[in-house]
Structure 1
């Protein structure tokens, strides 16, 4: 058996893109070349690696067994290629995923400090909601992730990272802003501007605040924190967001924070695939992140 790295790269890309066409575009190859490489690999292994469903290829159990090993071999190959290009042992590219709040408020500064500490300059940052980051980690499209939502995925290792405080915010002239000693019951019948399903911020609201309210209305569902803040500034409702994310709008007096008689702390999480090959670069970054604090 003589499996080529090119075949493994085609296999991993097809697993991530789910179609021959998309994989071919990403690899800058023709569709026949991608199909042939995949067919040859399946023939050599004597196993189908995907279930065909119309034009989509869904990785099957045999393919899932191969995926972490293929990812590791490609990562090791990349390390070898760059071994003599740089004196630094931590060569390669790091693909980092962050959910919206973490990705906008913390991860850029983590990357800045990691660069200063190691002189490693090759990182990519993907920002989406917690569910999407977890999906990309499970498919080996990302190396490591930082999220605020709770993660329950059998293939992901989840470690506590930093903490955050959540706040309830409204327009300065909102009736709730005029109440000196706010009670949870005062929030009844309020209209809320919330993040989309799959977001850790929405999950916090649904788990911590919503069960304590008998009547609440979702006024808007938006996929960025800035859009939420602007909607609250426009008087379209109240919201529950990260205190870090709200800071600039509070300083500009566009919104005010309501004093909540409730513990509003939440945990951020560092996550990575349990079968992901930890190159010297990834291992160094995880260790650095575990010890990092935001000043």
Structure 2
């Protein structure tokens, strides 16, 4: 297999199995288009996508069971290289009938007044929200958490019922806001985070992985442009 890989490198052919991991938001709302475009350009590539939260993806990359990972929170491991791909804005998301929907922006102190539907522990989104609240002088446990869920889709479904609000990536609710099912309310101050690509430090990186990293960075930045 190693010899085959070296031969492909020499002949300039980009192909083979590509083991990609991505945290939930990136995997569900951004990466399908990137992988589809990459496969069209390089038909001999066989992408295999694993979806998990940021912590799990990072661990799998460090263990070499994934070639490359995309995460939503800062990296916590020394054994991986982290490159920033693009910026993402997190915003309060609620049903059109919710009191927050009338606001042009919402402060952390306003948010604690309403029932909150949260992502699970280990989620990159949750980690970034907790850090943001602490920076703003609001304790994360002062949020009125009524439920924790591991899926952005499930979060959106519950929020649409009016049970509470959540905080999600702008990218995750584009369709629902366009259809008028949900409302996005920017936070004040704004909450901007980085999406990052992680890969093992010491492992030989194939031309396939290097080509995909460059391709994905450019595509993700374009998809996230306002």
TM-score bucket of the superposed structures, by smaller chain: 0.7 to 0.9
Q: Give the unaligned 5+ runs of structure 1.
A: 1-74
**Counterparts of 2:63 and 2:52, CA distance in 1:** 15
Among 113, 129, 147, the alignment partner of 1:189 is: 113
The answer (yes or no) to whether the contact 2:84–2:197 under 8 Å persists in 1 is yes
Once the two structures are TM-superposed, the CA of residue 146 in structure 1 deviates from its matched residue by: 0.9
**Superposition CA RMSD, Å:** 2.2
Q: Give the unaligned 5+ runs of structure 2.
A: none
Q: Compare relative contact order (CA 8 Å, sep 6+) and give the higher one, 1 or 2.
A: 2
- In the other structure, the counterpart of 1:294 is 222
The answer (yes or no) to whether the contact 2:101–2:183 under 8 Å persists in 1 is yes
Provide, for residues 138-176 of structure 1, a one-character-per-residue CA deviation record: whole Å limited to 9, x for no partner: 111100011111112010000111111111011211122
TM-score, normalised by the number of residues in structure 1:
0.67
- In the other structure, the counterpart of 1:113 is 37
SS of match in other structure, 2:222 = coil
The answer (yes or no) to whether the contact 1:79–1:91 under 8 Å persists in 2 is no
Judged with a 3 Å threshold, the aligned counterparts in structure 2 of structure 1 residues 107 and 131 are, in CA distance, closer, same or farther, namely: same
Among 66, 74, 79, the alignment partner of 2:5 is: 79
Among 198, 205, 219, the alignment partner of 1:271 is: 198
Structure 1 or 2, whichever has the larger Rg, is 1
The answer to whether residue 55 in structure 2 is matched with residue 131 in structure 1 is: yes
Q: Which deviates more, 216-225 or 183-192?
A: 183-192
The answer (yes or no) to whether the contact 1:106–1:294 under 8 Å persists in 2 is no
The ranges of structure 1 where at least 4 consecutive aligned residues each deviate by more than 4 angstroms after the TM superposition are: 179-183
Q: Number of aligned residue pairs: give it.
A: 217
TM-score, normalised by the number of residues in structure 2:
0.86
**Counterparts of 2:54 and 2:159, CA distance in 1:** 23
Query: 1 or 2, which has the higher helix percentage?
Result: 1
Provide, for residues 70-117 of structure 1, a one-character-per-residue CA deviation record: whole Å limited to 9, x for no partner: xxxxx514526x85xxx7622320000110111112211221222233
